[in-house]
Structure 1
Amino acid sequence: MPKRVDHQQQRELIAAAVMRVAATQGLEAVSLRHVASEAGVTAGMVQHYFSSKDAMMKFAMDAASTRIGERMSMLIDTLGEQPAPKELVNAVLTALLPTSEPGAADDGRVALAFMAYAATRPTVAEDLERSNAGMREFIAGLLRQAISDGQAPASLDPDSTAAALLALTDGLAVQMLSSNLPAETAIAALGAQLDLTFAADHSQEHP
């Protein structure tokens, strides 16, 4: 009787190999041959599941995004019931940093490689654009809540501030991966910016 093939398992095996190659050897090393060697399969099998490098990178980025989402959920769960908007934003952005959490550094390298890869490929960039837009809107929503609750200045622009916070986080992640910026320094820098962002609004207080 022919052996039953678990196609999803095979795809995940190959995607994991893509991520390892991208994380340890760089984006330029992601090829059918290198990925097949890393996964312990034939180049033909890799091509069967992923018709192009774009497809391999997208699947690997989806897997990395899933793990990042899981880390976000874990951090949010530690906040207890009804956390403040500032705590939620801090948890979400901290999960994007390549800290010492298991797999975080590799996921960060894959994300960085994927951003560079997508920069010159408009069709690949579409998914990244949607993901980033969703993240910006989520953070902007929390900022609006904070403004409404008097936990952030009324003058704050939620949309541009959300974009700036994500850009800061991306920049810190790049510094951590490329310049050995210590995680504690990156987390402190993010925290300092959040302190400024979520400064209590005293403009409506009366003497």
Structure 2
Amino acid sequence: MPSAAERTRTLVQSTCSAVLVVPGAEGAGEHELMPEVRTVGTDGEVYLLFPADAPAVRAATHAQDDELPAVLELTDVAPVAVCHRIRGRARVSGWLTCAPGIAGPGRMMLRLEVGEVYVDDLWGDAAVSAEEFAAAGPDPLTAYETELLQHLAAVHDDQVRGLSGLLGDRADVRRVVPLALDRFGLRVRCLDAAGRSFDARFDFPKPVVDVHGLRRAMHTLFEAAQG
């Protein structure tokens, strides 16, 4: 399974929604606190791009050399229609400073030096140290997951539902929806005949490193369900 550090790095570098909570910007609208771009530096620091007049930029500029505490709050929502769509949340806490000279005109890059990280997702909840966060990397399928899950739901619904044949005693399900995808496997959310939902996880024979490997792994999974 992916480590807590990898899962958090994946959320930070994915397209899930994010809000930067910083002192001095309490009255700002949520859209004003959402960075336009998020990336992670070589030492594990998180870079956040904002308009130059954004509340977070003003707060960081006003703080100057002082340590300005800030928290990047991330919310991961399933890209397909499914009950209980929030797949996870994460909090990256640290100290915020301006990083001038990196962004283009009218923009400012902010640097969040990571202190503490916490993730609560489909795998469970865990604390992650700054060192673990810096050493981890995002899942290689992160950039493609949304498109791939939507494709599975729209085009391969019958095959996805056929995976219920691998559930043994819990095979009497009415609906199966692809919920999450990573290099280790596919997670689906099932609805049984009584209207109860539960998740099932199907591991790949080995971790995949790219989309080509994923296609082979999915074919193997679907063939196993048919057999």
Is TM (by shorter chain) over 0.5? no
Give the strand-richer structure, 1 or 2: 2
Question: Which is richer in helix?
Answer: 1
